[in-house]
A and B are shown apart, each in its own frame.
Chain A
Amino acid sequence: MTGALKYEFMRIRTIRSSYWMSGMAVLFSASITTILAIFVQSANVDETDVSQVTTWILTSGASLPITPVLAAPFYAVMGCMAMGHEYRYGTNKATLTAIPDRVAVLTAKAVVLLAWVLTTVVLTLLLNLAITWLFMDNPTFSSDAWRPVLNYAGYCSGFALAGYALSAIFRNQVGAIVTVLLWPLVAEPIFYGIAVGIAQASNRGIGKLTNLLPASAGRRSMFDPYDLSVGYGTDVSVWGIGTSAFVFWFGVLLVIAAGCTAFIKRDA
């Protein structure tokens, strides 16, 4: 296992795309944070809303439904590359002849990917914190701010792991990238629209199914509790933050289980 971890750490450090993807994630997060901070600086923020706004800026807008989490796709692509490169360039045979234990290979990839993404997320948050202090006169952190911050790190990590597992399932990097990007951007909104439409027309109960959409649940897990139902309307009863985080991770773990099974059972 130690050998596998060393191998994977060397692997991720010696390709330029790791730095490109991480750099882009940090850059986009910092850009969003700066734009939000400048916007807040020029706005007349109510005293009672300062803590909420501070969390909003700190998480690059993730704690409010109106702002997209632009860093997540970059982490997802990094995850796709962690396994996709093995198939795209045929390095899986070299990897598995060096480390025949496939469980060790899978574990090492997941651990190193997770460590890399979390390190980048922490750097991003520290940079966001500096930007917050720079632009806000009196930033206030509420006692609940840890939750969106933690789930932001979880959301980014989950997307990276989902990309990694999808590459193992498809054995195709491009297919995995397309799937991991289009699922939250296209597939879930379509399903959501259909479910809400049915809920409004006839059956209110079917609207609850939208809570089971994993990417949407992950996005919701980062919201301030105050904003949890924003955009969902009255036809859908929205599950809480903890339950949403559980749904997101259940979906991610399901994909990981499928990917790991495929990697272990299939020929190299």
Chain B
Amino acid sequence: MALIQARQLSKTFSGKAAVQGLSFDVVPGSVTGFLGPNGAGKSTTMRLMLGLDNGDGVTTYDGVAYRDLKEPLRHVGSVLDAKPFHPTRKAVDHLRMLAVSNDIPMTRVTDVINLVGLGDVAKARPRTFSLGMGQRLGLATALLGDPGTLILDEPANGLDPQGVHWLRNMLKMLASQGRSIFVSSHLLSEMALMADHLVVIGRGSLIASGAMADFISTSNRNAVVVRVDDAELMTRELRVRNATVVAEPDGALAITGMDSDGVGGLAHELRIRVFELSNRQATLEEAFLDATGASEEFRASMGFGPGSGPAFGGPMAGQQGYGPPPGQQGYGPPPGQQGYGPPPGQQGYGPPPGQQGYGPPPGQQGYGPPPGQQGYGPPPGQQGYGAAPGQGGPPPHEDHDDPSNDRAPNGGDR
């Protein structure tokens, strides 16, 4: 039941820092989730903690470094790879081999192989194992010495839903026995159910460390949501009281900087009818994306067209994002000026006066069906493939604060 203390862990690859000055604790009796975007340095950190990589810093288990532990498998169990075994060595022999190195009784081999549900295939060769079975054998390896500490890198990868459920319950059970469980995973929903504490890193540096509830509470996606009959007045009055208001696409207002009692009281004071008043709690995923948005090593584009840009979060640390330079005007119209549409009295969309537009030249056939023939639409009187009348289609435009929404459809300012 060891307290893990990682101090100033650092590692560079070819001059590039993979982990830098990382310090955190993992307390006994808890499952501590280890989160970070791809390339954040999670696996490198775990290898540093186990003395597998040469780097700076030190990790101690109840004050003792890993390489100084006598019979380390009895103190720390770990899984770092999905299938870390020889494909033709029997599963039971793989465990026996590790057991003899740490003077672990052979009866324990049978115990753990049954515990992870591989009793029926104990004498099978792992080359026939699925990824999930490989993960289970890896877990059996970690549990072999009945250690007080478990370090697991993505242990749920490849497990089926039953396997994930089993893993979650087992780790919580092991933690309840006073063990320290340190587990990385990309399955944030799973981590939300499993972990008590979190260590969040990005680009090799610590972003957050502590209780999960505290981490989620820092998300700016926590808000009071209110739907009222006079959103304009409500917004104005909230801003007067220094609350931040974001208009939601469905007409609701998301408010931060004021609690629900205050919002309800204000609505009452303004004699505004309230249709909905609720607290919106950020999920772990939202909090994680908020916290690590600037720390992504690799990011994908969401697509093209309006709204395209970084998949999640903002620009990389220290880099300029897609918005206008600080203090400069973005693509929207200057404050107080006319948005959408041509200036009053000027020509809007369409050909200049006297010029030919996009239609067919006068006297020629356009793209429609030949006269008297049926086109591509549904037969007269029948419903086509489009949405039913009144359904589907984009919602009416809302007045978002995002200046990019003020951009003219043709890309120019108006």
Contact = CB atoms under 8 A, between A and B. Distances in A.
Instruction: Provide the main secondary structure of the chain B interface.
Output: loop
Residue from A93, A265, A266 with most neighbouring chain B CB atoms (10 Å): A93
B47 interface: yes
Given A89-B85, A98-B72, A7 B101 contact: yes
A267 B47 contact: yes
A91 B100 contact: no
Nearest to B69: A100
Given A15-B86, A15-B89, 4 more contacts: A3-B102, A85-B86, A91-B86, A100-B67
Interface string B46-77: 01001111100000000000110101110010
Interface residues of A, number: 26
Given A98-B73, A100-B51, A93 B80 contact: yes
A101 B103 CA distance: 16
Interface in A90-117: 90-91, 93-94, 96-101
A14 B89 contact: yes
Contact of B97 (A14, A16, A90, A265): A14
A140 B78 CA distance: 60
A6 B97 CA distance: 8
Contacts of A265: 54
Interface of B: 47, 50-54, 66-67, 69, 71-73, 76, 78, 80-81, 83-90, 93-94, 96-98, 100-103, 141
Contacts of A267: 47, 52-54
A90 B84 contact: yes
A267 B12 CA distance: 12
A7 B100 contact: yes
Given A97-B72, A98-B72, A7 B98 contact: yes
A90 B83 contact: yes
B35 to A, nearest CB: 22
A10 interface: yes
Contacts of B86: 15, 85, 89, 91
A97 B78 contact: yes
B98 A98 contact: yes
Interface string A61-105: 000000000000000000000000100011101101111110000
B52 A7 contact: no
Contacts of A98: 72-73, 98, 101-102
B78 A10 contact: no
Residue from B50, B78, B84 with most neighbouring chain A CB atoms (10 Å): B84
A6 B89 CA distance: 16
Nearest to A99: B101
A182 interface: no
A116 B71 CA distance: 26
A11 B97 contact: yes
Residue from A90, A93, A97 with most neighbouring chain B CB atoms (10 Å): A97
Contacts of B47: 93, 267-268
B102 A94 contact: no
B103 A3 contact: yes
Nearest to A265: B54
Interface of A: 3-4, 6-7, 10-11, 14-17, 85, 89-91, 93-94, 96-101, 265-268
Nearest to A3: B101
B116 to A, nearest CB: 16
A6 B141 CA distance: 17
A94 B51 contact: no
Contacts of B84: 89-91, 93-94
Contact of A101 (B50, B67, B100): B67
Given A93-B81, A98-B101, A10 B54 contact: no
13 contacts: A3-B102, A6-B100, A10-B97, A14-B94, A85-B86, A89-B87, A90-B81, A94-B85, A94-B98, A96-B52, A97-B52, A101-B67, A267-B53
Contacts of A93: 47, 50, 52, 80-81, 84
B85 A3 contact: no
A10 B99 CA distance: 10
Contacts of B103: 3
A3 B101 CA distance: 4
B53 A97 contact: no
A96 B66 CA distance: 11
Given A100-B66, A268-B53, A4 B101 contact: yes
Contacts of B54: 265-267
Contacts of A4: 101
A3 B104 CA distance: 10
B47 to A, nearest CB: 7
Contacts of B141: 94
A93 B88 CA distance: 18
Nearest to B98: A98
Nearest to A98: B101
Contacts of B96: 10, 14
A15 B126 CA distance: 12
A145 B103 CA distance: 45
Nearest to A4: B101
A264 to B, nearest CB: 9
B86 to A, nearest CB: 5
